Structure 1
Amino acid sequence: MSPLTITLSNGVELPAIGLGVFQTPPDVTTASVEEALRVGYRHIDTAAAYGNEREVGDGIRRSGLARDEVFIETKLWISDYGYDSALHAFDKSAGKLGVDQLDLLLLHQPLPSAFDRTLDAYRALEKLLADGRVRAIGVSNFMPEHLERLLAETSAVPVVNQIEVHPYFQQTALQRLHVQHGILTQAWSPIGGITSYRGGEKRTFDDPVLLEIAGQHGKSAAQVMLRWHLQEGRSAIPKSIKPARIAENFDVFDFELTTEQLVAIDALDTGVRGGPEPESITLEAYGREIPEA
């Protein structure tokens, strides 16, 4: 089974389905990454703030795959924003991952309360891109106003904005802005896991529309949601530490949703965000030191 790839605006090929390791404990991260790569994943998404970059690197090495066979994506945390700090943050992440070059490096949050630091951090990413230390750069959790200011004050258009997207929260206006600027929408919580662990009234996994579509294809609701992302042109980063779920989430390349089914899933949007509002992520509330490599 070959993973579908998406060509980013700068020509870099990104495997559309990646394994996410948010909240994956370090002591199980290595095994999860190794299992995902064994199943066929070729894209791993981590972050400095997750505290498991070192274990991601270990899992990649244990897989036996060559470095250029695995797309490695990570994110800088807000505590390391600013030009010089962001350059050093790259060294910390690359050191923990055990690589000289990252495939995709993102700013994890817009940090609107100190956006000048965000801009300086992004300029550091532009320098790393120019120097060949990273192959592509982007952002995460940026809303339209953050993207517009970034685009006005920096040179390289981010190739990716990784945001919360699942059937119950689709951010369609933001996605339209991405299309206008050639930015790939990459979905975190792509199967609505956040609707389960945040204790919401409705879980995507129990949605009757998704379950009916799943039954028509002999697939699970999670597989239907991932297929929905792929057919609408998004990258998706599902997470799991269970081998069966890791394999299930990758088994989405052998069926196709109809136009009617895509429309039915689009109609499930509630407009209710599961994660924190980007404006609430401040240094005062969320700043923390990212350890050295």
Structure 2
Amino acid sequence: MEELVSARLVKSIGVSNFNKRQLERILASCTIPPAVNQVEVNIHCPNTKLIEFCHSKNIQVEGYAPLGCPGFLKGEVKSLLNDEKVVEIAHKHKRTPAQVLLRHGIQRGIVVIVKSVTPERIKSNFDVFDFELTDVEMEKLNRTDSNKRIFSLPALFCLSKQCQSVCTASGISIP
């Protein structure tokens, strides 16, 4: 990948689902460090230590599943969009729960990735830059951490030990 950057075929190198140990290994041997690490980040799986490490190494964190992937969850992990704290804060700001969750990620200094095919939701998801959550609200959401990962694909089993397992919509428990 470094050769591609040197040849100006790509601008930057990015990695996905790398934990601190893996990033340290790469940083010890690379000449061009990764610019971004894409990992799951939401109020149930905040990856706080990993984000702090990445920021200390000038690696941007790109967080997927900031809304907790509604429709994918089953069992003990509830939709983040229905979380009482999130709904309360959304009501106070006259925003949607999704906007509150996205704003939370942005205020943590991460790039949030969200998917929607509904034009109204896409527009709503962009409408998060004209309000801020208070320090108290940020702390309230930060305390929601249940140490539960939503996505733990089979290919990622050995990559990150930062969050425990969850049940998928099909009822399969994934570490």
Shared fold by TM > 0.5? yes
TM-score when scaled to structure 1? Answer: 0.51
Q: State the identity as a percent.
A: 37
Instruction: Find 2:32's aligned residue among 116, 141, 156.
Output: 156
Kindly provide the amino acid, as one letter, of the partner of residue 261 in structure 1.
Answer: E
Instruction: Find 1:198's aligned residue among 63, 73, 87.
Output: 73
Contact (CA 8 Å) 2:73, 2:79: kept in 1 or not?
A: no
Instruction: Find 1:246's aligned residue among 122, 125, 129.
Output: 122
C-alpha displacement of 1:280: 4.8
Which residue is 1:213 aligned to? 89
Instruction: Find 2:18's aligned residue among 142, 150, 163.
Output: 142
Higher CA-based Rg: 1
2:68, 2:31 → 1: CA distance? 34
1:234, 1:270 → 2: CA distance? 20
Instruction: Find 1:170's aligned residue among 46, 49, 60.
Output: 46
Structure with higher helix content: 1
1:133, 1:165 → 2: CA distance? 30
Which residue is 2:162 aligned to? none
Instruction: Find 1:234's aligned residue among 110, 116, 131.
Output: 110
1:230, 1:261 → 2: CA distance? 14
Instruction: Find 2:6's aligned residue among 130, 133, 142.
Output: 130
Pairs within 5 Å for 1:6-85: none
C-alpha displacement of 1:135: 1.5
After the TM superposition, which parts of structure 1 deviate over 4 Å for at least 4 consecutive aligned residues?
none
Residues 78-130 of structure 1: CA deviation (Å, up to 9, x unaligned): xxxxxxxxxxxxxxxxxxxxxxxxxxxxxxxxxxxxxxxxxxxxxxx211111
Other structure's SS at 2:157 match:
helix
Which residue is 2:157 aligned to? 279
1:261, 1:279 → 2: CA distance? 33
Which residue is 1:268 aligned to? 144
1:178, 1:280 → 2: CA distance? 20
Other structure's SS at 1:197 match:
coil
TM-score when scaled to structure 2? Answer: 0.84
Gaps of 5+ in 2: 160-175
Bigger relative contact order, structure 1 or 2 (CA pairs below 8 A, ≥6 apart): 2
C-alpha displacement of 1:169: 0.6
Gaps of 5+ in 1: 1-124, 282-293
Structure 1 stretch 234-243 or stretch 173-182: which is displaced more?
A: 173-182
Contact (CA 8 Å) 2:89, 2:137: kept in 1 or not?
A: yes
